[in-house]
Amino acid sequence: MTQQPLMENETSTKAAPGGPAVSGSGGSAAVVRRRLRTLLQSPAATIGALVLLLCVLTALLAPFISPYPPGQQHPQDRLLPPFWLEGGSTEFLLGTDNLGRDILSRIVHGVQVTLLVSGIAVIISAVLGVTLGVISGFYAGGWFDTIIQRLVDANMAIPNILLILVIIGSMGPSTVTLTVVLGVTGWVIFARMVRADVVSLRERDFVRAARSIGTRDPVMMMRHILPNVMPTTIVVATLSFGTNIVIEASLSFLGLGIQPPTVTWGYVLNEGRDYLATAWWIATFPGLAITITVLAIMFLGDWLRDVLDPREKKRS
């Protein structure tokens, strides 16, 4: 061995400062601690994570922390404003709706279904879309790709909401139906974005290298393609999560969403629409909850995408 490893110093400079990458297998506790540290370095991601943590805790503890059951009516306290306004009461922190139900309690109880429906739908869409997108892109130009592309085109021609309406309309609204329908109709954007990635990845030398080694196609897709489409998938998933919340709200608005007595944010928001002029708080607070949650998910998604990319590690 005439030459010693080159650039030993350069490599260690890159690896040393942030702490990470000193050794890949440092025990899972160390990994968690390291991840947590990078999380705290990003204020947006930290806020996002806190908000989501709050959402999850709220969802789990809803029966215990909610001031009232969500459907409980207080006929003498109808349309009360939030407590800091004239006429508000600290008994109903965010005010009440037209039936005297506590807005805060309804938001607290709505978290659970809203997050579950949107979240599970995103997972269904992602699994479907990424699988189809990877296969379609890997065999771009083949018969499978052609079929998928036609389906994508067809889907682009019909607004998703219309499709969902038709399906729900014919099957009847329920929480499970809604989740599945949202999930099944949401694959298209995943498939499209992922396919575009795969088509360019496929031409990269490391994929050719794997082929020259004799790697089988399924292994190649799992080992070489899939990890490299994760950034795209995460970005699409965060967007899609937000879209799902909004679609769920829109469906509730049309009366085809989740049926009472189950409460969702979209449903509460929808109930407030008749009172926008007189009792704006009914629609505003669930709306705010949706906005904040979607933003939090996006912040977290950005961070996650960076963290999962080994090339980004040196930056933190």
Partner 1 sequence: MTATADFPQQRIMTEKHPPVLEVEKLQISFRGDDSSTTVVEDVSFTVGRGEVVGIVGESGSGKSVTSYGIMGVLPPNAEVTASKMFFAGAHDLVRLPSKKRRRLQGKEISMVFQEPLTSLNPLMSVGKQIAEPLRYHEKLSRKEAKRRTVEALRSVGIPRAEQTYSSYPHELSGGMRQRIMIAIALVCEPQLLIADEPTTALDVSVEAQILRLMKKLRRTTGTSILLITHDLGVIAEMADRVVVMYAGQVVEEAEVYELFREPRHPYTKALMASTPKIEEVRDELESIPGAVPTPSKMPTGCRFAARCPKAMEICSERPPEVELGSGAKTRCWLYAEQETGS
Partner 2 sequence: MTEAIEHLHSTTEASAQEPLITVRHLTKKFTLRGPRPKASAKDEQGKASDQAQERQSPRNELVAVNNISFDVYPGETLGLVGESGSGKSTTAALILRLLEATSGEVYFEGQNLLELPPQEMRRRRRDMQMVFQDPFSSLNPRMRVGEIIEEPLRTHRTLPTRRGRRDRVLDLMDTVGLSPDFVDRFPHEFSGGQRQRIGIARALALNPKLIVCDEAVSALDVSIQAQVLNLLKKLQAEFNLTYIFIGHGLPAVHHISDRIAVMYLGKIVEITTRDSLFDDPKHPYTKALLDSSPVSSPELRGSQDELLEGEVPSLDITPRGCPFNTRCLYVQDRCRSEEPPLRSLSDTAQAACHFPLNHN
**Closest distance to partner 2 from the beta carbon of 62 (Å):** 39
**Closest distance to partner 2 from the beta carbon of 288 (Å):** 38
As given in the structure block, the two tokens for residue 17 are 């400062």
As given in the structure block, the two tokens for residue 46 are 């930290």
As given in the structure block, the two tokens for residue 19 are 């702490």
**Closest distance to partner 1 from the beta carbon of 3 (Å):** 5
Residue 310 binds which entry of partner 1, partner 2, none, with Cβ cut-offs from 5 to 8 Å by kind? partner 2
Choice from 85, 154, 219, 222 touching partner 2 (CB under 8 A): 219
**4 scored as a contact of partner 2 (CB under 8 A):** yes
DSSP assignment string, 35-79? HHHHHHH-HHHHHHHHHHHHHHHHHHHHHHH-SS-TT---GGGTT
**29 scored as a contact of partner 2 (CB under 8 A):** no
Decide: 108 and 58 in contact? Cβ < 8 Å.
yes
Contact flags string 117-146 toward partner 2, x per CB under 8 A: ------------------------x-----
As a whole number of angstroms, the distance between CA 170 and CA 108 comes to: 31
Contact flags string 69-108 toward partner 2, x per CB under 8 A: ----------------------------------------
As given in the structure block, the two tokens for residue 259 are 């049926």
Decide: 48 and 241 in contact? Cβ < 8 Å.
no
Residue 23 binds which entry of partner 1, partner 2, none, with Cβ cut-offs from 5 to 8 Å by kind? partner 2
**150 scored as a contact of partner 2 (CB under 8 A):** no
Choice from 213, 261, 277, 278 touching partner 2 (CB under 8 A): 213
DSSP assignment string, 86-140? TT-BTTBTT-B-TT--BHHHHHHHHHHHHHHHHHHHHHHHHHHHHHHHHHHHHTT
As a whole number of angstroms, the distance between CA 245 and CA 247 comes to: 6
**Closest distance to partner 1 from the beta carbon of 7 (Å):** 4
Choice from 88, 275, 314, 316 touching partner 2 (CB under 8 A): 314
Cross-strand partners of 96? 102
Give the footprint of partner 2 on this chain (CB under 8 A): 1-8, 10-11, 14-15, 21, 23-25, 141, 203-206, 208-216, 219, 223-224, 227-228, 309-311, 313-314
